[in-house]
Amino acid sequence: MTYLKPHFRNPALPSNALGYTRRDYEGAVSTLCAGCGHDSISAAIVQACFELDLPPHRLAKLSGIGCSSKTPTYFLGASHGFNSVHGRMPSVLTGANLANRDLVYLGVSGDGDSASIGLGQFVHAMRRGVNMLYIVENNGVYGLTKGQFSATADKGSKSKKGAVNPDDPIDLVSLALQMGATFVGRGFSGDKAQLVPLIKAALRHRGVAFLDVLSPCVTFNNHPGSTKSYDYVREHNAVFNRPDVVPHREAITADSAPGELVTVTLHDGSVVRLRPVAGDHDVHDRIAAMNHLAERQAEGEIVTGLLYVDPDAGDLHDRLNTVDTPLNRLNDAELCPGAATLARVNAALR
């Protein structure tokens, strides 16, 4: 058996504005279990970056520990990458972002990585507004360590061996909303038609964007009694809306009756068109989003779609008032103004 993906590609495969095909955004062949939802998310990230014409070398992908956190090896082989320690992706990413604000930052994590060991890191990344897309590949278990319940596992859901989870779950979407994230949504690995545009819009958002993506673990959490299985998520998926991203260059031609579509213009001028499916809260209204989520969740439904966005949000750099030039490009003279200036500053503080 070969584990190498043949380099031959479909001759009809389209190229993007940079002349790359989708396959140029791939990484190494995955070593995850066959059928793992995480692999589908990787494919969605590849598709989104291809469609956005992102130069792969302008993107940095960072992760923690877990099957989900392994996935950056399997996409964007030509991008920067850092596989950090368990639950510590947010702080490493924050540092990287501070040093070079010009890259596009993608943080990839798991429910264990973010909701268990890394919960503190997670909430602070949200409240600081680090300009990034934070994706949690949520399967309700610690996949890599053989399927223990994670902190997002629903109360009452059953493990593969039949054990019942006694604890209440942490809902990362609610938490992100509460912590001040400025782009919040949820997707499902088994619905790329919704997931790819969500990732595209989130990558274009300026500020912190959070996506909770349900991603069934075929090996440890895809059985009857699980609330994170392919079947369960499909049956309980309450689609709030289906986004569609239009680059600002293109004229917007509405292909459905006016009024039906909600349009959001992002910071960079690109437009997200939202096709509402179930529910009608205003996506600019954080409280309404939280209410909608709480109501549907109480009914046992899993709300997916773009739930909240603040297109005018700022980010960590705005709050810190850093210079426009990335810090890693400042020279010694710019970084160290000299003894005289230091003396002046010190004098002012006396």
Partner 1 sequence: MRPTDTGSPDYFHRVVDCQWACPAHTPVPEYIRLIAAGRYDDAYLINWKSNVFPGILGRTCDRPCEPACRRGRVEAEPVAICRLKRVAADHKGPDVRARFPRAPAVKNGKRVALIGAGPASLTVARDLVPLGYHVVVYDGEAKGGGMMRSQIPRFRLPDAVLDEEVGQILDMGVETRFGTWVSSLTAVLDEGYDAVFVGTGAPRGRDVDVPGRAEAAANIHIGIDWLSSVSFGHTGRIGRRVIVLGGGNTAMDCCRTARRLGGEDVAVVVRSGFEEMKASPWEKEDALHEGIPIHNFLVPKAFTHARGKLTGVVFEKVAARYDDKGRRSLIPTGEPDVHMACDDVLVAIGQDNAFPWIERDAGIGFDRWGLPTVDPVTFQSSNPKVFFGGDAAFGPKNIITAVAQGHEAAISIDAFCQGSPLTDRPPPHVTLISQKMGLHEWSYDNDVSVDTRHKVPLRETAVALKDVRVEVELGFDVDLAWQEAQRCLNCDVQTAFGPALCIECDACLDICPVDCLTIAEDGGEGELLTRLKAPKLHADQPTYVSGALKTGRLMVKDEDVCLHCGLCAERCPTGAWDMQKFFLEMSHAGGAACRSR
Ligand X SMILES: Cc1ncc(C[n+]2csc(CCOP(=O)(O)OP(=O)(O)O)c2C)c(N)n1
Note the residues at the interface with ligand SF4 (CB under 6 A). 32-33, 35-36, 38, 67, 139, 143-144, 217-220
**Nearer residue to partner 1 within complex by CB, 2 or 253:** 2
Cβ distance 230 to 139 under 8 Å? no
CA distances 227 to 77, 122, 144, 241, Å, are 33, 23, 19, 22
What x/- string results for residues 139 through 178 when contact with partner 1 is judged by CB under 8 A? ----------------------------------------
Strands 132-138 and 104-110 come out as parallel
Of partner 1, ligand X, ligand SF4, none, which one does residue 76 interact with (CB within 5 to 8 Å by kind)?
none
Query: How many Å apart are CA 272 and CA 198, to the nearest integer?
Result: 9
Query: How many Å apart are CA 230 and CA 216, to the nearest integer?
Result: 6
Phi, psi angles (nearest 5°) of residue 252: -90, 115
Give the residue, chosen from 40, 42, 63, 68, that forms a contact with ligand X under the rule CB under 6 A. Answer: 68
Residue that has been written with the tokens 């006694």 in this structure: 166
Of 313, 288, 75, 292, give the one whose Cα is nearest residue 210: 313
Our finding on whether 191 is near Mg ion (CB under 5 A) is no
Query: How many Å apart are CA 244 and CA 253, to the nearest integer?
Result: 12
What x/- string results for residues 207 through 246 when contact with partner 1 is judged by CB under 8 A? ---------x-x---x-------xx--x------------
Our finding on whether 139 is near ligand X (CB under 6 A) is yes
Q: Which residues bind Mg ion (CB under 5 A)?
A: 110-112, 139, 143
Q: Which residues bind partner 1 (CB under 8 A)?
A: 1-2, 4-13, 23, 29-30, 33-37, 39-40, 42-43, 189-190, 192, 216, 218, 222, 230-231, 234
Q: Which residues bind ligand X (CB under 6 A)?
A: 65-68, 86, 110-113, 117, 137, 139, 141-145, 150
